[in-house]
Amino acid sequence: MAKNNSLHPNSNGETDDSPNMLVYRKMEDVIARMQDEKNGIPIRTVKSFLSKIPSVFSGSDIVQWLLKNLCIEDQVEALHLGTLMAAHGYFFPISDHVLTLKDDGTFYRFQTPYFWPSNCWEPENTDYAVYLCKRTMQNKARLELADYEAESLARLQRAFARKWEFIFMQAEAQAKVDKKRDKIERKILDSQERAFWDVHRPVPGCVNTTEVDIKKSSRMKNPHKTRKSVYGLQNDIRSHSPTHTPAPEAKQPTEEELREQIKFGQAQLDRHRLKMSKVAESLLSYTEQYSDYDPFLSTPDPSNPWISDDTTLWEMEASKEPGQTRVRRWGFGINEVLKDPVGREQFLKFLESEFSSENLRFWLAVQELKRRPIREVPTRVQEIWEEFLAPGAPSAINVDSKSYDKTTQNVKDPGRYAFEDAQEHIYKLMKSDSYSRFIRSSAYQELLQAKKKKSKNLF
Amino acid sequence: MGEMEQMKKEAETLKTQIEAARKAANDTDMASAASGVAPAPRVQLKTRKTLKGHLAKIYAMHWSTDNRLMVSASQDGKLLIWDSHSGNKVNAVPLKSSWVMTCAYAPSGNLVASGGLDNMCTVYNLKTPVIKTVKELDAHTGYLSCTRFLSDTEILTASGDTTCALWDLETGKQKTVFLNHVGDCMCLSLSPDMNSFVSGACDSLAKLWDIRDGQCKQTFQGHTSDINAISFFPSGNAIITGSDDCACKMYDLRADQEVICYQDAALNSGVTSLALSLSGRLIFAGYDDFNCNIWDSLKGEKVGVLSGHDNRVSCTGVPPDGMCVCTGSWDSFLKIWN
């Protein structure tokens, strides 16, 4: 995968761009292709009444182009992608404030790169006020303010009452400049300016695509890249292009950090790496084994409570009577037995019948210890030690000498993980010994073959 | 050569050697290995329930282990506990700070937690006659992006201050701090055996941590932007990540590298959240473009779409029994699908 330099994390691990920049670049790549002279969307000027509609293409043109050029399967997906790009303001319907894509003859126009979201626009309300004010000075019917715009203007007039004269003057100056432009050019620029504001001050009820996740917005990394001033009212702090900002000075690692990096790197290099073919095999067999239990792949028995509204399945799960499918799952591995409370119960029952339950009881006790409140831990550690490991313990378990020594030490300063080594050893023992005996036992086999108990009428 | 220069060189050499070792283990790619497997059924899921009640953007949701109850957090300043099957709101917890980013349900069902721009993780007891704040875990110096309970006595947090932490709920203090990320931590996922967890951060890396010794055991690279979502594969041997670079990736822990990438030319928005079906075969990934896309985890193909939300999908979750998938959105609704 080619790594675009301005996107590759620098040695601090931080990219220079806002979280959305990657997405904007992707959309802009598509736009560039759409605007390509040879293979892009055909743009034309349409005659209408006494005037011309310059530089437009239809919604269907866009949908067709997307279907043909982007490996999109169906019209729904094309509309979805197109609407996304319209909502971000890359192209817009010339006669509507609502930025969606329609698969019909509705006319659309491209947005000028000056107004693209990748320029990190955060236009201020003063600019919006100038814009709305300017619109009222242009007495063409098509430029009349929509209801929500008129409301916004009224609100802004109240908010900026003190500097309204200044705003009015700016609007007048803008309107004067606009009048001098070529008529066709004006049409295009007006519509692009309106589309810009449709993105940043959307119609009430429409999604505001400039909304940023609060997790990202609190990372104000590059305030100097934000463009705030549309009409030159504030000092535009930005002095250089957003795509060529020099990277912030990379922090040099300290000696300590380098040592850690090397140690970590060494450990990584030494680790055993499983071959991809084995990994694939393992993933495939896991999903295969569990597909019978995945309600998205196999229909649950008796029914999925979300579809049938029948909660029998949940009641069965809660009951102590394990169904056949549940029992079969215990055979997948020791973890499945230990995970299921009924499984644990059956496993314990079987081991008790063989007078070899101390391993499982120890394992369960240690698991329970890890969930205890910290003040109860020291006493519990002592109890477990006495029961399972101390010389002459009533339920003595067999641990290797290394783990035994380590545990003896840990018990002197008891914490939640005092028995970790011993527990790991016992787990391995159970896995190879007790568990396999359980699965082969007649008790388990009977549960597996269990026929539905017929309720006997005793009276 | 000065000592620093020498060490830098050594670190670089190690990186190259590790890459080479990873390449050497790459004797096939996942897609070809999975070519023989029957394709996952084309999934056409329907909305079974729409949970209405929040008044603003929903930022997070988490299922309870009983497969019916769930907790959701919204910028309207509330945590809502739902009996999602009946659609009833069981409880409402008013939050001190409405800038909430995450919520979690304890496996016991007794506690829920939330956190956000207040930099704290607040734990509530649901079982007292009136819901009480049990603890306010206050030590992070950045926003709380994600939290998960290990039990009623221990909880994990991920924070915008680039650290993750394990807390003891009795003392309210941090027991272990996990330091290694250089960007804000955005998400975390517990391993099925609860001995380790993975975290994703804005430094575009995912890291595996040992809960007991607090060390970073492995680092996974490949994304080119913030990792917003992360989840363990149910076998515990692999992880799935979702990023602002519009892709999801699966990394295998034993192969120590990326196994497959879930990406589409038509997908032009970041991944916000993800959840896996019970067998791990299906990945439900929520995107900024208001949809949740369903991927076949083995073949890397898109097999379905959940569209119905009117704004960004911010959170997804599959209950432990895998019976459905829930999506939560900035449009203030939660939807249950299957």
The whole-angstrom separation of Cα A390 and Cα A208 is: 67
Judged by CB atoms closer than 8 Å, whether chains meet at A273 and B37 is answered as no
Burial class (CB in 10 A: 0-12, 13-18, 19+), B193: exposed
ipTM more than 0.85? yes
Please report how the helices A59-69 and A75-87 are oriented relative to each other, as an axis angle in degrees rounded to 10. Answer: 110
Quickly tell me which residue has 């210890």 as its tokens.
A369
Distances (CA, A) of A48 to A43, A52, A97, A185: 16, 6, 21, 17
Q: Looking at chain A, which residue has its C-alpha nearest residue B293?
A: A77
In chain A, count H helices and then E strands: 21, 4
Tell me the pLDDT tens digit for each residue of A423-459. 999 999 999 999 999 999 998 998 888 754 443 443 3
CA A432 to chain centre: 40
Max distance between CA atoms of chain B, in angstroms, equals: 71
Q: Where are the domains of chain A?
A: 19-118, 125-211, 273-318, 321-455
Tell me the pLDDT tens digit for each residue of A143-195. 688 899 999 999 999 999 999 999 999 999 988 888 888 888 888 998 999 99
pLDDT at A214: 85
| B281 → closest Cβ in A7, A273, A294 | A294
With a cut of 70, list the residues of chain A below it in pLDDT: 1-19, 139-143, 218-225, 232-251, 451-459
Whether the Cβ atoms of residue B300 and residue B261 lie closer than 8 Å to each other: yes
The whole-angstrom separation of Cα A195 and Cα A109 is: 10
Whether B30 maps to a domain, the answer reads no
Indicate the CATH number for domain A19-118.
Answer: 1.10.10.10
Judged by CB atoms closer than 8 Å, whether chains meet at B279 and A268 is answered as no
Judged by CB atoms closer than 8 Å, whether chains meet at A268 and B14 is answered as yes
Q: Looking at chain A, which residue has its C-alpha nearest residue B226?
A: A19
**Number of Cβ atoms within 10 Å of the Cβ of A275:** 15
Q: Where are the beta strands (DSSP E) in B193-281?
A: 196-201, 206-210, 216-220, 227-232, 238-243, 248-252, 257-262, 271-276
Residues of B in contact with A20 (CB under 8 A): 244, 270
The whole-angstrom separation of Cα B206 and Cα A10 is: 17
Query: What superfamily would CATH give domain A321-455?
Result: Regulator of G-protein Signalling 4, domain 2 (1.10.167.10)
> Which domain covers residue B123, as residue numbers?
46-337
Q: What is the CATH number of the domain that holds B315?
A: 2.130.10.10
Judged by CB atoms closer than 8 Å, whether chains meet at B145 and A268 is answered as no
The whole-angstrom separation of Cα B222 and Cα A3 is: 10
pLDDT at A318: 81
Judged by CB atoms closer than 8 Å, whether chains meet at A295 and B49 is answered as no
Judged by CB atoms closer than 8 Å, whether chains meet at B7 and A255 is answered as yes
Whether the Cβ atoms of residue A89 and residue A199 lie closer than 8 Å to each other: yes
Beta bridge pairs of residue B276: B283
pLDDT at A313: 85
**Number of domain units in chain B:** 1
Whether B2 maps to a domain, the answer reads no
pLDDT at A220: 52
Whether B318 maps to a domain, the answer reads yes
Q: What is the pLDDT along chain B (338 residues), one digit of tens a residue?
A: 678 888 888 888 998 999 899 888 888 888 888 888 888 877 789 999 999 999 999 999 999 999 999 999 999 999 999 999 999 999 999 999 999 999 999 999 999 999 999 999 999 999 999 999 999 999 999 999 999 999 999 999 999 999 999 999 989 999 999 999 999 999 999 999 899 999 999 999 999 999 988 999 999 999 999 999 999 999 999 999 999 999 999 999 999 999 999 998 888 899 999 999 999 999 999 999 999 999 999 999 999 999 999 999 999 999 999 999 999 999 999 999 98
Judged by CB atoms closer than 8 Å, whether chains meet at B268 and A287 is answered as no
Q: How far is A362 from chain B (nearest CA, A)?
A: 17
Residues of A in contact with B116 (CB under 8 A): 214
Whether B222 maps to a domain, the answer reads yes
Does 1.10.10.2840 match the CATH number of domain A125-211? Answer: no
The whole-angstrom separation of Cα B37 and Cα A86 is: 39
Token pair of B196 as six digits: 């380790």
pLDDT at A251: 64
Dihedral sign (CA B224, A71, B259, B26): negative
Judged by CB atoms closer than 8 Å, whether chains meet at A30 and B268 is answered as yes
| A290 → closest Cβ in B28, B279, B336 | B279
Dihedral sign (CA A219, A225, A230, A233): positive
Q: What stretch of H or E contains B90?
A: strand B88-94
**Per-residue buried b or exposed e for B87-97, using 16+ beta carbons within 10 Å of the residue's own CB:** eebebebebee
Sheet of B325-329, strands arranged across: B47-51, B334-337, B325-329, B313-317
Asked if the peptide bond before residue B107 counts as cis, ω within 30 degrees of 0, the response is: no
Choose from B111, B199, B254 for mutation: most chain A CBs within 10 A. Answer: B254
| A276 → closest Cβ in B25, B101, B237 | B25
A385: phi then psi, degrees, rounded to nearest 5: -60, -50
Whether the Cβ atoms of residue A370 and residue B107 lie closer than 8 Å to each other: no
CA B137 to chain centre: 20
Q: How far is A459 from chain B (nearest CA, A)?
A: 38
User: Nearest-5° angle of CA B282, CA B283, CA B287?
Assistant: 145
The whole-angstrom separation of Cα A197 and Cα A135 is: 12
Choose from A74, A260, A276 for mutation: most chain B CBs within 10 A. Answer: A276
Residues of A in contact with B145 (CB under 8 A): 215
| B212 → closest Cβ in A207, A261, A420 | A420
pLDDT at A238: 39
Judged by CB atoms closer than 8 Å, whether chains meet at A417 and B212 is answered as yes
Residues of B in contact with A311 (CB under 8 A): 85
The whole-angstrom separation of Cα A78 and Cα B144 is: 37
The whole-angstrom separation of Cα B170 and Cα A30 is: 54
Residues of B in contact with A290 (CB under 8 A): 234, 278-280
The span from the first CA to the last CA of chain B, in angstroms, equals 63
pLDDT at B26: 86
